């Protein structure tokens, strides 16, 4: 077999052996220490989780399967005629199997997703019935949870499937969910912003991103390329970030992939995580209203200062792990320089890249004063006329499905047990310190 499932069927037994070996031979070895600060400080930096698909270096950024993101972008096969970017389909192949796909292998994933892409009517009806005031992210959470009757994992589990086979059903569900997401997301978009106007038909001549963009009513070639890039860049960021960890945690209860992904999206919807891409644009729009499209450095610095004085963070800047400019920011900026360097929003974001870190450094408390992925995406989307800020995090979510679901397949493949850390009350912590 040549598809992802065949590759996994071959690889999983080998990885299981390796995993078991590590467990038997080294299970008792110590690789970290837990301080009181770790317990009360969001477990920052604790070597606590397992992740096969990607790994984050605090200076170089994310590696997908041991490959730097910029090399992944450079090497993923270009599938459609005339496209300048690789496909998210190829990226998913890489994340799940660990192998860079050939052009044909990436095309096979496209075909699979096209076959699996039709969304059940009841789910579309539920989306159609939503009040427009429900945030698009809340709609995405609801829609993916409501797809749960589709779950082959649930069916197999109920029938008493063997644990060793769980991954196969997690794989089927994940493939189906990813295939349906463009239609789900585009339906949310159409209802909230376009009075329900727009296509929901999958066109078998286009790839996953092409279909998504067309359904959004934005079929322009360069925008589809931006979407391919965007979907690759936002896919995976290790397993400790809120969206990945939420998916994993819920998955360890053996909740199905539709529910696990729904939980993941509830987390992505927070302003300190995925919602930051919406917040960046809100902030930039305020900035341009206040001081115009071409302000002086001094005006910019004052505006940044005023934001901080108001007790707010500068959205799109800082990171819990990264300590340098996020390569996902750089890759978007390279796209912008190639396609729309004269766009006023792009120019502003590029200038702020120099100015905001200077201001944040002076606070002497921000661990990372440099831009993250969310600082750039908004102005690019604006340039190609995707103007509705409240939809931005949904794009992030559609992309994030690729990473969190590849992780979920591997969690089931390696038999990750239910997650259940021990917690302490402040009284217990004090007692513990006094006894130590």
According to CB under 6 A, which residues from 383 to 412 bind ligand CMX? none
Contacts of 211-217 spanning 24+ positions with Cβ under 8 A = 211/114, 211/117, 211/182, 211/183, 212/182, 212/185, 212/186, 212/398, 215/182, 215/183, 215/186, 215/190, 216/186, 216/189, 216/386
Exposure string (b/e) for 2-37, b if CB count within 10 Å is 16 or more?
ebbbebbeebbeeeeeebeeeeeeeeeeeeeeeeee
Say whether residue 372 binds ligand CMX (CB under 6 A): yes
Least distance in angstroms from the C-beta of 44 to ligand CMX: 6
Structure tokens given for 311? 């007790």
Say whether residue 357 binds ligand CMX (CB under 6 A): no
C-alpha span between 11 and 97 (Å, rounded): 8
Say whether residue 365 binds ligand CMX (CB under 6 A): yes
Least distance in angstroms from the C-beta of 37 to ligand CMX: 12
Question: Of 136, 182, 210, 316, which one interacts with ligand CMX (CB under 6 A)?
Answer: 316
Say whether residue 309 binds ligand CMX (CB under 6 A): no
Candidate ranges 112-120, 200-208, 334-342, 367-375; the one touching ligand CMX (CB under 6 A) = 367-375
Say whether residue 320 binds ligand CMX (CB under 6 A): yes
Comparison of 101 and 315: residue with beta carbon closer to ligand CMX: 315
Report whether 315 contacts 307 (CB < 8 A).
no
DSSP three-state, residue 50: coil
Exposure string (b/e) for 311-343, b if CB count within 10 Å is 16 or more?
eebbbbbbbbbbebbbbbbbbbbebbeebbeeb
Which one, of 70, 223, 256, lies nearest residue 153 by Cα?
256
C-alpha span between 233 and 91 (Å, rounded): 9
- Report the relative pairing of strands 61-64 and 67-68 from DSSP bridges: antiparallel
Least distance in angstroms from the C-beta of 256 to ligand CMX: 25
The CA–CA distances, whole Å, from 257 to 70, 245, 302 equal 29, 13, 47
* 319 belongs to the catalytic site: yes
Cβ contacts of 160 within 8 Å, gap of 6 or more: none
Question: Of 20, 272, 290, 385, which one interacts with ligand CMX (CB under 6 A)?
Answer: 272
* 273 belongs to the catalytic site: yes
Q: How many alpha carbons fall within 13 Å on the CB side of residue 60? A: 12
Candidate ranges 179-187, 208-216, 312-320, 328-336; the one touching ligand CMX (CB under 6 A) = 312-320
Say whether residue 314 binds ligand CMX (CB under 6 A): yes
Comparison of 164 and 367: residue with beta carbon closer to ligand CMX: 367
Say whether residue 126 binds ligand CMX (CB under 6 A): no
Per-residue mark of binding to ligand CMX, 174-213 (x: CB under 6 A): ----------------------------------------
Kindly name the residue from 234, 248, 319, 376 that is annotated as catalytic.
Answer: 319
Comparison of 114 and 265: residue with beta carbon closer to ligand CMX: 265
Least distance in angstroms from the C-beta of 89 to ligand CMX: 23
Least distance in angstroms from the C-beta of 198 to ligand CMX: 27
- DSSP, res 269: T
Say whether residue 328 binds ligand CMX (CB under 6 A): no
Kindly name the residue from 245, 248, 273, 376 that is annotated as catalytic.
Answer: 273
Active site residues: 273, 319, 374
Residues that bind ligand CMX (CB under 6 A): 241, 272-274, 276, 308, 313-320, 360, 365-368, 372, 374
């Amino acid at each position: 077999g040549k598809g992802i499932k065949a590759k996994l069927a071959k690889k999983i037994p080998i990885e299981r052996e390796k995993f078991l070996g590590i467990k038997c031979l080294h299970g008792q070895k110590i690789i970290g220490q837990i301080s009181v600060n770790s317990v009360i400080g969001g477990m920052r930096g604790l070597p606590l989780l397992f992740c096969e698909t990607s790994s984050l270096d605090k200076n170089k950024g994310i590696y997908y399967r041991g490959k730097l993101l910029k090399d992944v972008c450079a090497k993923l096969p270009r599938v459609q005629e005339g496209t300048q970017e690789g496909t998210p389909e190829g990226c998913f192949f890489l994340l799940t199997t660990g192998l860079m796909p050939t052009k044909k292998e990436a095309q096979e994933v496209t075909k699979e997703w096209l076959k699996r892409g039709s969304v059940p009517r009841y789910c579309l009806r539920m989306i159609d019935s939503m009040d427009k005031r429900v945030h698009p992210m809340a709609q995405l959470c609801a829609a993916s949870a409501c797809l749960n009757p589709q779950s082959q994992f649930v069916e197999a589990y109920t029938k008493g499937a063997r644990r060793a086979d769980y991954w196969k059903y997690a794989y089927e569900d994940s493939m189906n969910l990813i295939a349906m997401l463009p239609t789900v997301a585009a339906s949310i978009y159409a209802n909230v912003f376009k009075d329900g106007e727009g296509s929901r038909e999958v066109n078998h001549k286009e790839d996953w991103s092409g279909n998504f963009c067309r359904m959004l009513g934005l079929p322009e070639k360069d925008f589809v390329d931006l979407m391919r890039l965007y979907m690759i860049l936002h896919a995976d960021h290790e397993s400790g970030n809120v969206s990945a960890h939420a998916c994993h945690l819920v998955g360890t209860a053996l909740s199905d992939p539709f529910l696990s992904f729904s939980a993941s999206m509830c987390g992505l919807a927070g302003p300190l995580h995925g919602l930051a891409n919406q917040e960046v644009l809100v902030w930039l729009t305020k900035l341009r209203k206040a001081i115009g499209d071409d302000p002086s450095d001094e005006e910019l610095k004052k505006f940044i200062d005023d934001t901080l004085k108001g007790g707010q963070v500068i959205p799109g800047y800082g990171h819990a792990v990264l300590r340098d400019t996020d390569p996902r920011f750089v890759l978007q900026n390279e796209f912008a320089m190639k396609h729309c360097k004269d766009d006023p929003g792009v120019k502003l974001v590029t200038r702020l890249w120099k100015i905001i870190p200077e201001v944040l450094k002076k606070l002497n408390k921000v661990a990372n004063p440099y831009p993250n992925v969310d600082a750039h995406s908004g102005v690019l989307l604006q340039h190609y006329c995707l103007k509705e800020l409240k939809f931005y995090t949904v794009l992030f979510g559609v992309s994030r499905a690729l990473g969190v679901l590849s992780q979920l397949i591997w969690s089931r493949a390696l038999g990750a047990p239910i997650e259940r850390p021990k917690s302490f009350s402040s009284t217990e912590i004090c007692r513990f310190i006094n006894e130590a």
